[in-house]
């Protein structure tokens, strides 16, 4: 993730066409993803994502957990369901 844009928990990013909130950074490569994000305001879910060198992409295989099963997501569910502040 060295060349990835600097992100921190609470930042909004777009993966494909999906708006996501960054919830966790993974500094070590013992995990299969660079970061965890939460998306899907109707049913918040957490997914891993990796920087490809050009853009963020969901980690594959795409394994997600509903937010209620992921303790790091709790603080960000309200942000996600409120929507991006820069979108009208």
pLDDT digits (tens, 9 = 90+) for 7-39: 999 999 999 999 999 999 987 767 789 999 999
Task: Name the pairing type of β-strands 65-66 and 56-58.
Answer: unpaired
- DSSP lists the bridge partners of residue 15 as 18
For 75-85, how does the pLDDT look when each residue is reduced to its tens digit (9 = 90+)? 899 889 998 88
User: Which two three-digit tokens encode residue 88?
Assistant: 């009208």
Residue 86: pLDDT band (50, 70, 90) is confident
Q: For residue 61, what are the CA distances in angstroms to 50, 64, 72, 80?
A: 12, 9, 21, 23
């Amino acid at each position: 993730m060295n060349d990835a844009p600097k992100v921190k928990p609470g930042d909004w990013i777009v993966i494909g066409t999906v708006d996501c909130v960054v919830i966790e950074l993974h500094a070590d490569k013992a995990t299969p993803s660079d970061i965890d994000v939460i998306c899907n305001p109707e049913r918040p879910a957490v997914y891993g994502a990796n920087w490809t060198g050009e853009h963020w992409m969901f980690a594959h295989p795409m394994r997600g957990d509903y937010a209620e099963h992921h303790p790091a997501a709790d603080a960000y569910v309200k942000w996600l369901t409120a929507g991006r502040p820069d979108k009208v």
